[in-house]
Amino acid sequence: MDLISIAVIAVALSMDAVAVSISTCIALKGIPFSDSLKMAGMFGLFQAVMPLIGWLAGLTFRKLIQGTDHWIAFVLLGVIGGKMIVESFRMKCESPKGNSLSLAVLLGLAVATSIDALAAGVSFALLKLNILTTITIIGSITFALSFTGTQIGQKVGCRFSSRVERLGGLILIVIGLKILIQHLVEKI
């Protein structure tokens, strides 16, 4: 597999992280620059580490990973999205205060958006890809696109208020459903 193909895979794997970056920044009505870097860094790190774990697991755990990855992503994204929707009914539009993201929230989002990368790592073992090159490309592209997503979310800010937070929550739930449905349909 050539570098362009790996880059295309990296972009595809990073799309959930980008959507979460945008919607999180919209929902929080802005986060500090340092948190934008933390979020992008966490997403890039997990998008790089999860394929490595999948690659290491290889064929031995393939059925186990494929059997649960979609359910894990669905539940994590559904819970986070549902929480955003519930909170949107309580929010008041105020000036951005530079809300900070907790490590627990960042970890949850990073795991939820990188489950597919874990499964992809198993296929990388089958394809005999150079895993260090592959995960470096995936992590770097995810970092760059997620950071860009936070900046897009920052620009939208409070102007769209609670409706945008509901939309962000809905987006997370839809991403979770997409992952679940995709995997269930593949089994048919």
Nearby residues of 9 by Cβ (< 8 Å), 6 or more positions away: 120, 138
Give CA angle at 42 (89, 94), nearest 5°.
30
Given a contact cutoff of 8 angstroms between Cβ atoms, the answer to whether 77 and 173 are in contact is yes
Write down the pTM of the prediction: 0.71
pLDDT above 90: residue 119: no
The pLDDT of residue 159 is 55
HEC profile of 33-61: HHHHHHHHHHHHHHHHHHHHHHHHHCCCC
Average pLDDT, the chain: 80
Residue type at 13? Answer: L
Q: Can you read off the two tokens belonging to residue 20?
A: 């979460």
pLDDT above 90: residue 136: yes
Given a contact cutoff of 8 angstroms between Cβ atoms, the answer to whether 48 and 138 are in contact is yes
Of 120, 109, 97, 77, which is closest to residue 29 (Cα–Cα)?
97
- pLDDT tens-digit map of 142-167: 999 999 999 988 887 555 546 656 77
pLDDT top residue among 65 and 85: 85
Nearby residues of 108 by Cβ (< 8 Å), 6 or more positions away: 76, 80
Confidence of residue 98 (pLDDT cuts 50, 70, 90): very low
The pLDDT of residue 71 is 77
Mean pLDDT score, 179-185: 80
* Integer Cα distance of 62 and 59 in angstroms: 5
Nearby residues of 85 by Cβ (< 8 Å), 6 or more positions away: 165, 166, 169, 170, 173
